[in-house]
Amino acid sequence: MENESSDDDIFYSINSDISDIDSDEVKNDCVNDESDSPCESSDDESVSTNNKHHEDWSGESLKSNLSSYDSKLQLLPGFQSNLLQNPTPMDYFQLYFTPELVSYIADQSNLYRIQTNNTKQSSMTDIDFNCLLGFLFYASVVPLPNKRDYWSSSSRHSIVADATSRDRIMYLLSILHFRLCRNSNNNCSTQCHTSKN
């Protein structure tokens, strides 16, 4: 019991010693500073003091390259939005995953499918890619130990199982590809797997 109180006393004395040192340094900096402004102990002045020390050390004055902020949030004058008047969450999503981007990923995946001769199922469509992306988002929010568990009878998730089959998702994951591999020899498969990982 006595040890606990003595520890608290030691901690209090250390904190008070540190605060005394900090206040002494601020006072000394204010005394040594040759500015005409009165010395106040505030965070803004400690920052400006640090900047002055840095200016003295580097020999050049520091200027911010940030534009001034007038505290008004507004879009740039030339900004044009393709959003509807009352956008849905899907409209916001398609600002990032545009139809062109989805088509590009599907095309690259289909090229990879042909190059690796992985033609067990039909090629990936834009709808397939969106379905795969939806599954991956859902699986990140509602994780299960194995991807196959979303279709198993004991842990079936109808939002996934009713939308697509397990084999189709596994196939789409196996051909998912983002960049064309230009080699026609067998090294292409190795290079493509390396770039996916």
Quickly state the pLDDT bin for 192 (edges 50, 70, 90): very low
In percent, how much of the chain has pLDDT > 70? 54
40 and 96 belong to one structural domain? no
At residue 194, the pLDDT reads 42
Quickly state the pLDDT bin for 132 (edges 50, 70, 90): very high
Over range 163-173, report the average pLDDT.
96
At residue 71, the pLDDT reads 72
pLDDT exceeds 50 at position 196: no
pLDDT exceeds 70 at position 4: no
Q: What distances in angstroms separate CA 162 from CA 95, 138, 150, 174, one per listed residue?
A: 27, 14, 10, 21
Average pLDDT value over all residues in the chain: 74
At residue 49, the pLDDT reads 56
Among the candidates 41, 58, 75, a domain finishes at: 58
111 and 175 belong to one structural domain? yes
Distance CA 23, CA 26 (A): 5
Domain tally, the chain: 2
102 and 15 belong to one structural domain? no
112 and 168 belong to one structural domain? yes
* Bigger pLDDT: 99 vs 48: 99
At residue 26, the pLDDT reads 47
Distance CA 137, CA 143 (A): 10
186 and 102 belong to one structural domain? yes
Over range 186-192, report the average pLDDT.
49
pLDDT digits (tens, 9 = 90+) for 78-87: 767 777 788 8
pTM of the model: 0.53
At residue 84, the pLDDT reads 79
pLDDT exceeds 80 at position 158: yes
Q: Among the listed ranges 32-46, 50-64, 130-144, 160-174, which one has the minimum average pLDDT value?
A: 32-46
Determine the structural domain holding residue 170 and report its residue range: 89-196
